[in-house]
Structures are given as C-alpha cells and as structure tokens.
C-alpha cells in the first residue's frame, strides 16, 4: 500500500493551480481573439468600399403585403443613396444617408426632410425596420465584443453561436446573438435583445451566393418578435461590389425631382 | 296716465301680447341658458385639468413641448433643490417618456408617465401602484385609464410587453402588468397614457432624479434652468376652444333675439296700421304726436318688461330642472375635451342682468322703429284711415 505523502500532495496541487492560472487567460484570450477574428471576417464578407444593390423590400404586416422596389448605392459604412422605383405611390422617393443624418425626398411634396435624432427610431415605411436599423453604420467587429457560446447545427450546417455585447452604452441593441458558419464566415441568423434579455428582433440571412470573391445573402428576413405575423424581407436581386459611384449620388442636390 | 292707457291697450291685445311675451321670455331663457352652459363647461374643464394635471403651474425646461414626443427625452432635467424640498402637498414630480406596448402583439405607441407616489397635489387614483412592493426586475406594474383600456383591449391583471429606450438610447423591454384600470375625468391623461411609478420609470430608463416637469401649488419664484408655465398657458388650448365656441354661439343668440324682435316689430306695425283712427282721434283731441309715439312705444315695450318676469318664472323651472340632471357630454371625451362627467350650468348674475338689458333695449328699439312715422301723420287723414298705407 502506498504511503500517504502530504508533501507530494501539496506540491502537486500547487503545480496544478499554477498551470491553470497561467493557462486560463491564454485560453480565454484565444477564444476572444477567435471570436473577434471571425467577426472581422464576417464584416469583410458583408462590407465593401462601394456597393450597388437592386432589390426589393417586401413588407408583410399580417394583413397585407407591400413590395417596395429600389436601387441603392453605398460607399463605406457612412454614405448611401436609395431610389424607390415602385409601387407608384413611392416612385421617385429618395433617401440619402451621410454620417448620422438621413434625408428623405418625396416627389409628392417636392421637399426633402431631415430624419434625425429620435425620428430615426420610427418604423421605415411601415416595415419591421427602423430608419436607424437601415442606416446601421458600424461594422459588428467594431461595435461589439464577441464570445463563443458553443456549436449548434442549423439546417444541416454546423454553426458557432456567439453572443455579442455592445462596446458603447449608446448602441441600440446592447446584446446580439449570431449563428455563424465558421467555414464560410457568414452569418445565418441574428437575434437582437433588449437590455433585459427579451428577444426583440430576429434576422435570417438566406440563399447565400457567390458575388466576386464574397458570399452574400440573396434574402434577409427581419421579424419584430414583439409583433405578431409581421415580417420584412429584403431581397437583393442584383448586387455589385467595388463599383464606381458618381459623387453626385451622395450630394444633397440629388434630392430633387 | 300714459302708462295706464298703454297697459290697457297691451292687455286688450290678448293672445298677440301673450305670444310676444312668451317668445321674448323664451329667447331670454335660451340666451341665459347658453351663456351659463358655456360657463359651466369651461369651469368644469378647467377644474378637471387643474386637479389632475395642471395644478398651480409647471416648472419645465424652456423647450419642453408635450405635443413634440420626439423631444421629450432631451427635455428632462434634474429636479432642483428648491423644488425637491417642497412638501408633498405642494408639488408633484412627473417624468414623461415615449414607449410602446404590444397588446395582443400589436404595436401601440404610448406616453409613459411616471408619477411621484408621495405627491398629494394632484387627484389621481394611482394607489394600486403604491401598493406594488416587489422590484421591477421582471414585471413592471402599470395603470391605464378606462378609455385607454377600451382602445388597447387591456383589463386588470393582463400582461403586456413594454418597450422603451434608456437615457443612452439603448432599447429595452420588459413584461408589464395592468394592476388597475381607473376612471380618469381628464381624457388628456387617459388616451395613450401608461401610468407608472416615478421611481420605476427612473430606474428602467436610468434617469435618476430626473423629471419632465414639476407641478406646483403656486409659483415658487424663478428657478435657474427652468421656466414656469402658468395655468393660463397650460390651459390655453381648451380656453381658446371655448372662447371660439362662444363666438359661434352669438349667431344663435342673434337668431333668437331676431325672432323675438320680429314678433314685437310685426305687432307694432299691425297696430299702427289697424289703429289709424285711434291715432287720429288722440291727435285730434290734442295729444302731441311725440306723446302718441311714446304711448305706442311703451305698449310695445311692455312685452319686453313682461317677458323679464315670465323669463324669471320659466327660467327658474327650466334651469332648476337642468341643474338636477346635468348634460351628458361623455362623447366629447373622444375629442380630448377634458370632461367626462355631466356638466352643469354656472349662472353669473352680472351676465344674466346684462343679457336681459340688451334684449329689453333691443325690444324697446323694435317697438319704437315702426311707430316713428306717427309723428308725421296728418290727423285728418288718420281719422279717415288713409294716413298709413
């Protein structure tokens, strides 16, 4: 029978504690770095220096479905210009975003309106998106700190589930949860939470396709989880990256008939 | 002498005189009723607003506008010591912010109104909120008015999701429970308003010590960073509305007085036409034309004087009965008029006397106008009945 050695036991325990004390932050930091790298890759996939989109916004409020057809030009994350082509009621409506300001021009009134401050929080044309949601001008890797919660299979794809915490108190959604395909660096699902932890919005990114050297979804489905039977689908019928956009598109002079 | 003749002639006319008196008396009662109804309406609206919202005035930031909800979040301020030190019977701290509730998962934009539970200045039935003992980490207690409950289909005990923004702009949401549905006599603090405890609203929005306004019993002097809004300013829209309505009511008075005037005018006109021989006889016996005019004018005016007496009698009965039942104006609550209960007349003696005097003067005038031509009548022609055609 082995003789109980108190000295050996104390030494062993101390070594064990020491190793873990040294290793734990490294493991944590590695996980954090991995999460951050993944977010950067996701951003790289989604964001480009310039972008052109020919798309549709399908707004389903549970009683009727409206389809808005528009073209958008974007430069970086701070400038964008959209021109609404259909339906007839919205035809000619223009939206110009520059930094944190958004101007809207409607041909019926022949006036441009500055949508700023608290107005940005209102629903955009009756959709599940606010103007603020539409003009999201920060990369998630810059606005949030991510942690990996684990793996989850989603529609046959092994995804990493990540919780993102806002770096600033002023961020609309303080907590996001995303499902990322680590093999392709794409987000399949995003949930936005209130500070209390209540689920507010759900976004599904579907039908990813190759556009140049990127993977971009063809469809984004937004749901306001506090409302019943409503959803807004953003269809990207045509998308081009790194296109030349005339400077006049981001000038206020474009906001006229 | 002239009065006795006029009275005899007036009574001799029988039914014609009676109808003149009745029409004039009814016009008088209607005018007084109308005036008193507006007074009662204004009095009750002001009383309701003052007791539930306005009090003796508000200390607010100079740019605060209740009709600009987008700016409420930027127009809060830390309550100054001069106001926080006031006794609870002299002040009510109020914080107003934008929010949304989702009854049956439908979006319903609301005004979140946090009310100081210690205040005794405003008469608000919010004691159920005070009884809520548990913290607001999971469920927020709210109270809504009956009108709001009807619109949102919420009942006592119902749960509903409440969404708001904190002071930094981050969105937050929690479950809320309707702990009471209360009758509020002022629809302006009912429609679209969700009542909360001030400490709860401050906590969930991270606005410690902040208010949108402080209602006070009376002006407490100038306080830096705030502007005192006197009740007249806070009640301006409702007072303007009533003032405007009074202007339109004048049209009704004019019609009523016109009808009474026409009746007297017609009687007088017929009198001088039918009684030409009598006029001629009086003049032939030496009565000067001016005196004949006075006689006939007095005769016509007796209708107005008698109408005052009849109006007093009829008015006492009609207005007395009305005071016992009141007028149900609950339908007006839909249009934000701050009255939900029955309204009653407020009779101002000076107004009554003045309006009576105006009517009597007009009646004397219309009694005199048709008989003026008597002064130019030739007595011989009048005796033959051909002076006035």
- The predicted-structure confidence for B201-222, as pLDDT tens digits, reads as follows 999 999 999 999 999 999 999 9
Residue A21 pLDDT greater than 60, yes or no: no
Contacts of A124 in chain B (CB under 8 A): none
Domain assignment present for B260 = yes
Kindly report each contact of residues A166-173 with a partner whose C-beta sits within 8 Å and lies 24 or more positions away, as own/partner.
Answer: A166/B170, A167/A142, A167/A143, A168/A143, A169/B168, A169/B170, A170/B168, A170/B169, A170/B170, A171/A143, A171/A144, A171/B170, A172/A132, A172/A133, A172/B169, A172/B170, A172/B171, A173/A200, A173/A201, A173/B170, A173/B171
Which of A131, A138, A170, A198 to mutate to probe the B interface, most B CBs <10 Å?
A: A198
Task: Examine residue B388 and state whether it is found in any structural domain, yes or no.
Answer: no
Among candidate residues A10, A253, A231, the one with its CA nearest the CA of residue A129:
A231
Tens digit of each residue's pLDDT (9 = 90 or more) over B85-109:
999 999 999 999 999 999 988 888 9
Task: Give the closest of B104, B168, B173 to A200, CB-based.
Answer: B173
Identify the pLDDT of residue B53: 93
CA distance B65 to B338: 19
Tell me whether residue B317 is in a domain: yes
More confident position, B192 or A119: B192
CB atoms inside a 10 Å sphere around CB B376: 9
- For residues B210 and B249, state if they share a domain: no
Q: With a cut of 50, which residues of chain B have pLDDT below it?
A: none
For residues A223 and A190, what is the distance between their CA atoms, to the nearest angstrom? 11
Q: Which of A119, A172, A226 sits opposite B173 (nearest CB)?
A: A226
A63 touches chain B (CB under 8 A): no
Cβ distance B192 to B99 under 8 Å? no
Give the strand pairing for B193-197 and B213-216: unpaired
Length of chain B: 389
The mean-pLDDT minimum among A74-88, A114-128, A189-203, B229-243 falls in: A114-128
How far is the C-alpha of B321 from the C-alpha of B194, rounded, in Å?
A: 39
Can you give the pTM of this predicted structure?
0.77
Specify the higher pLDDT residue, A125 or A141. Answer: A141
Does B259 share its domain with B195? no
Q: How far apart are CA B81 and CA B221, in angstroms?
A: 13
Are B161 and A198 within 8 A, CB to CB? yes
Bridge partner residues of A53 (DSSP): A72, A239
Which one of B71, B165, B173 has the shortest CB-CB distance to A196? Answer: B173
- Decide if A146 contacts A38 (C-beta within 8 A): yes
Q: What is the pLDDT of residue A168?
A: 93
DSSP one-letter code for B144: E
Which residues in chain A have Cβ-Cβ distances shorter than 8 Å to B100? 226
pLDDT-derived band at A8, boundaries 50, 70, 90: low
B367 shares a domain with B344: yes
Q: Residue B238: its pLDDT value, please?
A: 84
Q: Are residues B267 and B364 in the same domain?
A: yes
SS (H, E, C) chain A: CCCCCHHHHHHHHHHHHHHHHHHHHHHHHHHHHHHHHHHHHHHHHHCCCEEEEEEEEEEECCCCEEEEEEEEEEECCCEEEEEEEECCCCCCCEEEEECCEEEEEECCCCEEEEECHHHHHCECCCCCCEHHHHCCCCCHHHHEEEEEEEEEEECCEEEEEEEEEECCCCCCCCEEEEEEECCCCEEEEEEEECCCCCEEEEEEEEEEEEECCEEEEEEEEEEECCCCCCEEEEEEEEEEECCCCCHHHHCHHHCCC
The DSSP output letter for B136 is S
Q: Binning pLDDT at 50, 70 and 90, where does residue A7 land?
A: low
Domain boundary among B198, B229, B260: B229
Q: Which of A47, A93, A43 is nearest to A70 (CA)?
A: A93
On whether ipTM exceeds 0.85, the answer is no
Compute the C-alpha angle A48/A53/A58, nearest 5°: 130
Q: What is the pLDDT of residues A145-161, one digit of tens each?
A: 999 999 999 989 999 99
From the list A118, A119, A172, the residue facing B171 with the nearest CB is: A172
| Residue B188 domain-assigned (yes or no) | yes
Helix, strand, or coil here: B6?
Answer: helix
Pairwise CB contact (< 8 Å): A172 & B70 = no
Mean pLDDT of A37-50: 89
Same domain, B144 and B289: no
- Domain stops at, among B229, B254, B269: B229
**Residue A102 reports pLDDT greater than 60:** yes
pLDDT at site A23:
47
B73, B105, B173 ranked by CB distance to A194: nearest: B173
Half-sphere exposure of B127 (CA within 13 A, CB side): 3
Q: Which residues of A145-156 are buried (b: 16+ CB within 10 A; e: fewer)?
A: ebebeeeeeeee
Higher per-residue pLDDT: B389 or A86? A86
Give dist(CA A96, CA B325) in Å, integer: 61
The upper half-sphere exposure of residue B85, i.e. CA atoms within 13 Å in the direction of its Cβ, equals 4
Tell me B21's DSSP state: H
Q: Do A169 and B168 touch (CB under 8 A)?
A: yes
Which residues constitute the domain of residue B164?
58-229
Contacts of A227 in chain B (CB under 8 A): 102, 105-107
Determine the topology of domain A45-254 in CATH. outer membrane lipoprotein receptor (LolB), chain A (2.50.20)
Q: What is the C-alpha separation between A71 and A87, in angstroms, rounded?
A: 13
> Sorting pLDDT into bands at 50, 70 and 90, what band is A1?
very low
Domain boundary among B187, B207, B229: B229
Assess A174–B contact: CB distance below 8 Å, yes or no.
Answer: yes
With a cut of 70, say whether residue A12 has pLDDT above it: no
pLDDT at residue A29, rounded to an integer: 58
Q: How many domains does chain B have?
A: 2
Nearest chain B residue to A200 by CA distance is B173
CB-based contacts of A181: which residues, under 8 Å, 6+ apart? A157, A158, A159, A160, A187, A188
| Omega before residue B340 within 30° of 0, cis | no
d(CA A52, CA A212): 13
Report phi then psi at B121, rounded to 5: -80, -45
Domain boundaries, chain A: 45-254
pLDDT at A90 over 80: yes
Going from the C-alpha of A190 to that of each of A124, A179, A187, A203, the distances in angstroms are: 20, 6, 7, 5
Tens-place pLDDT, residues B267-294: 777 877 788 888 888 888 888 888 888 8
Round the average pLDDT of chain A to a whole number and report it.
Answer: 85
* pLDDT at position A3: 53
Residues B279 and B134 in one domain: no
Q: What is the mean pLDDT of residues A88-117?
A: 86
- Asked if pLDDT for residue A25 goes beyond 50, the answer is no
Q: Which residue does chain A place closest to B107, by CA atoms?
A: A227
Average pLDDT over residues A183-189: 94
Q: Three-state SS for B251? A: helix
Handedness of CA A16, A22, A25, A31 (dihedral sign): negative
User: Above 60 in pLDDT, residue A15?
Assistant: no
Does residue A2 surpass a pLDDT of 50?
A: no
Report the largest interatomic distance among the alpha carbons of chain B, rounded to a whole angstrom.
Answer: 104
Query: pLDDT of A189-210, one tens digit each?
Result: 999 999 999 999 999 999 999 9
């Amino acid at each position: 029978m082995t003789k109980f050695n108190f000295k050996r036991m104390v030494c062993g325990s101390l070594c064990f504690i020491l190793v873990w004390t040294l290793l734990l932050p490294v493991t944590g930091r590695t996980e954090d770095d991995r999460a951050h790298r993944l977010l950067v890759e996701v951003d790289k996939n989604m964001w480009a220096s310039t972008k052109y989109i020919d798309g549709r916004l399908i707004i389903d409020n549970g009683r009727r479905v409206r389809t808005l057809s528009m073209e958008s030009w974007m430069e970086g994350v701070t400038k964008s210009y959209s021109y609404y082509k259909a339906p007839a009621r919205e035809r000619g409506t223009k939206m110009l975003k520059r930094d944190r300001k958004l101007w809207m021009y409607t041909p019926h009134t022949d006036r441009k309106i500055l949508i700023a401050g608290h107005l940005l929080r209102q629903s955009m044309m009756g959709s599940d998106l606010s103007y603020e949601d539409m003009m999201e001008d920060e990369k998630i890797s810059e606005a949030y700190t991510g942690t990996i919660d684990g793996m989850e299979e989603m529609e046959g794809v092994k995804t990493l589930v990540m919780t993102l915490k806002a770096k600033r108190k002023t961020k609309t959604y303080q907590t996001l949860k995303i499902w990322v395909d680590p093999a392709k660096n794409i987000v399949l699902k995003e949930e936005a939470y209130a500070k209390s932890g209540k689920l507010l919005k759900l976004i599904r990114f579907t039908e990813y396709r190759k556009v140049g050297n990127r993977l971009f979804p063809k469809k984004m489905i937004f749901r306001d989880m506090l409302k019943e039977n409503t959803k807004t689908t953003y269809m990207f019928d045509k998308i081009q990256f790194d296109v030349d956009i005339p400077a006049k598109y981001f000038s206020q002079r474009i906001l006229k008939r | 002498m002239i009065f006795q003749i006029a009275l005899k002639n007036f009574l001799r006319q029988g039914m014609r005189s009676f109808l003149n008196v009745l029409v004039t008396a009814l016009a008088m009662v209607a005018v007084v009723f109308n005036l008193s109804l507006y007074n009662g309406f204004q009095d009750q609206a002001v009383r309701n607003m003052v007791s539930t919202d306005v009090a003796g005035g508000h200390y607010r930031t100079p740019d605060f506008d209740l009709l600009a909800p987008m700016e409420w979040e930027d127009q809060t301020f830390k309550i100054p010591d001069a106001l926080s030190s006031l006794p609870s019977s002299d002040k009510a701290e109020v914080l107003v912010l934008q929010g949304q509730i989702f009854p049956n998962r439908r979006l319903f934009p609301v005004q979140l109104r946090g009310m100081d539970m210690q205040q005794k200045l405003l008469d608000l039935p919010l004691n159920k909120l005070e009884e809520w003992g548990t913290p607001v980490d999971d469920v927020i207690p709210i109270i809504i008015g009956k009108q709001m409950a009807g619109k949102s289909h919420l009942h006592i005990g119902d749960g509903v999701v409440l969404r708001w923004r904190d002071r930094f702009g981050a969105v937050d949401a929690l479950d809320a429970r309707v702990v009471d549905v209360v009758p509020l006599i002022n629809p302006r603090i009912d429609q679209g308003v969700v009542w909360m405890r001030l400490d709860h609203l401050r906590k969930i929005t991270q606005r410690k010590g902040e208010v949108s306004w402080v209602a006070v019993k009376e002006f407490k002097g100038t306080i830096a960073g705030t502007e005192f809004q006197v009740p007249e300013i806070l009640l301006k829209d409702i007072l303007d509305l009533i003032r405007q309505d009074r202007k339109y009511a004048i049209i009704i008075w004019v019609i009523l007085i016109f009808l009474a005037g026409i009746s007297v005018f017609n009687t007088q006109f017929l009198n001088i036409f039918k009684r030409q021989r009598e006029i001629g006889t009086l003049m032939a016996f030496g009565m000067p034309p001016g005196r004949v005019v006075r006689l006939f004018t007095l005769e016509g005016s007796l209708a107005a004087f008698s109408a005052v007496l009849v109006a007093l009698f009829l008015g006492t009965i009609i207005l007395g009965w009305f005071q016992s039942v009141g007028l149900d104006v609950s339908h007006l609550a839909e249009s934000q008029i701050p009255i939900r209960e029955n309204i009653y007349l407020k009779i101002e003696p000076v107004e009554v006397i003045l309006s009576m005097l105006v009517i009597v003067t007009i009646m004397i005038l219309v009694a005199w106008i048709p008989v003026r031509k008597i002064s130019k009548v030739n007595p011989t022609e009048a005796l033959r009945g051909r002076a006035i055609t």
